[in-house]
Amino acid sequence: MTHNTLRNQNDFSILSKEWIQNPYPFYDQLREQQPIYWLSSITHKGWFITGYEEAINILKDQRFRVRKPLPRNTHKFKDLKYIQNEMMLYKNPPDHTRLRSMFQETFAQQAILQLKPLIEKTVDDLLNSVKSIGTMDVIQDFAFPLPSMIIAEILGIPKEDRHKVRSWTNQLLGVIDLTRTNHTLYKGNEIAQQVKEYFRDLLLKRKQMPKEDVISQLAQNTSLTEDEIMSSLILLLIAGHETTVNLIANSILTLLTHQEQMHLLKQNPSFIHSAIEECLRFESPTQITARYAAENIMVGNALFKRGEQIYIVLGAANRDPKKFSEPNQFDITRSPNPHLAFGAGTHYCLGSQLARLEAQIAVNSFIQRFDQITQLDPSPRWRKLAGFRALKSLPVSFTAK
């Protein structure tokens, strides 16, 4: 098959306001034309994978590799490159295997379950602090502080530094998104420099005086280089903060816009497990992940030429009618629900159990403790990101029980 190009490319910019506001009709259009689509626009060129089978096959195929986000041979963005290039997310086996195995135990289901009391207490404290006010911004007051407190606790970031670390990770998310510009990269580089200095200092302190936390374990570890340790910490912070915020907020928004499903969950709190899986499918926090072809590869009729960029649109695969019946229907009892919100294959999300547990506790407590929850801003405002589905804010009013 030759590359298919769209007739009117400008109508299809992945940066368009319409796409950011509601990408799903664009995904459907792409998938209907070709689930493996060659998109060539002014800003982006590459394969867009919108079919479920196609996406999972590529994610599991080792010939499709992750690429370092910034090439080594540019002198610009030195600090950004320094932290990004060593992240496991951008490494292939065998380095990927060695790095990932260092964190497997910390994020395994059994270890995560032990965090349940801490998550429940943090959720309670956050909801108690807004309950007498009767209004809140779900992002600022709840969805953002929760995961950031939990991941900071796991890693061992001192309490007094947490606000600083939060603002860094928030800004670094834009750096790995498709919509990034030179300005984002310059800003990201400045932040990277501060983050690097901060962690170098902290690692040194923990080397001299270890505590019971991940940073202290890493400080004693001799099988990782200092670059790898720093990059891993930053990756865990970004991943631990940002995507979980979006899972919690997107879940609450989706329930608010599907009142009958909200009611069903309120009446049956034990549905929370399948409800969160459905939220992951329906408004996937990570919408797009990328690979490149390490060699010429034929998949079906499509020839991926060596070096070509591939965007795997998880948010589109998760609404493929060939895999999910009534894919645009939000159904908290959907089962089975083999969504790809956490990816698949060797890079399958390391923090999926943590994200699930935080979201289950947060969403259930929120809807059980509050009544008459009402969205104050009728049209949700999404951040200008294509790879992530992230709200700017979600103001609501409620009555506390």
Q: Which residues bind ligand HEM (CB under 6 A)?
A: 88-89, 100, 151, 235-236, 239-240, 243-244, 247, 285-286, 289, 341-343, 347, 349-351, 354-355
Least distance between ligand HEM and beta carbon 152 (Å): 11
Least distance between ligand HEM and beta carbon 247 (Å): 4
Distances (CA, A) of 240 to 162, 187, 193, 265, 391: 13, 21, 20, 26, 17
Least distance between ligand HEM and beta carbon 114 (Å): 15
Nearer to ligand HEM, 347 or 398 (CB): 347
> How far is it, in rounded angstroms, from Cα 61 to Cα 64?
6
Tell me the residue nearest to ligand HEM as measured from the CB: 351
Comparing CA positions, the residue from 367, 363, 317 lying closest to residue 338 is 317
CB 180 within 8 A of CB 174: yes
Least distance between ligand HEM and beta carbon 91 (Å): 7
Give the single-character DSSP code of 224. Answer: S
Nearer to ligand HEM, 81 or 91 (CB): 91
Angle, helices 272-282/259-267, rounded to nearest 10 degrees: 160
Nearer to ligand HEM, 30 or 234 (CB): 234
Nearer to ligand HEM, 137 or 283 (CB): 283
Least distance between ligand HEM and beta carbon 259 (Å): 24
Nearer to ligand HEM, 12 or 361 (CB): 361
DSSP string, 52-77: HHHHHHHHH-TTEE---SS-TT--TT
CB 388 within 8 A of CB 173: yes
Least distance between ligand HEM and beta carbon 236 (Å): 5
Angle at 302 between CA 300 and CA 303, to 5 degrees: 120
**What are the phi and psi torsion angles at 94 (to 5°)?**
-85, -15
> How far is it, in rounded angstroms, from Cα 324 to Cα 322?
6
Helices (H), ranges, 157-301:
162-172, 182-208, 214-220, 226-238, 244-256, 259-267, 272-282
Nearer to ligand HEM, 217 or 286 (CB): 286
Least distance between ligand HEM and beta carbon 19 (Å): 19
CB 31 within 8 A of CB 51: yes
**Structure tokens that stand for 123 in this block:** 């959720």
**Structure tokens that stand for 367 in this block:** 């809807």
Nearer to ligand HEM, 39 or 350 (CB): 350
> How far is it, in rounded angstroms, from Cα 155 to Cα 216?
9
Least distance between ligand HEM and beta carbon 149 (Å): 12
Nearer to ligand HEM, 327 or 343 (CB): 343
Nearer to ligand HEM, 103 or 370 (CB): 103
Least distance between ligand HEM and beta carbon 248 (Å): 8
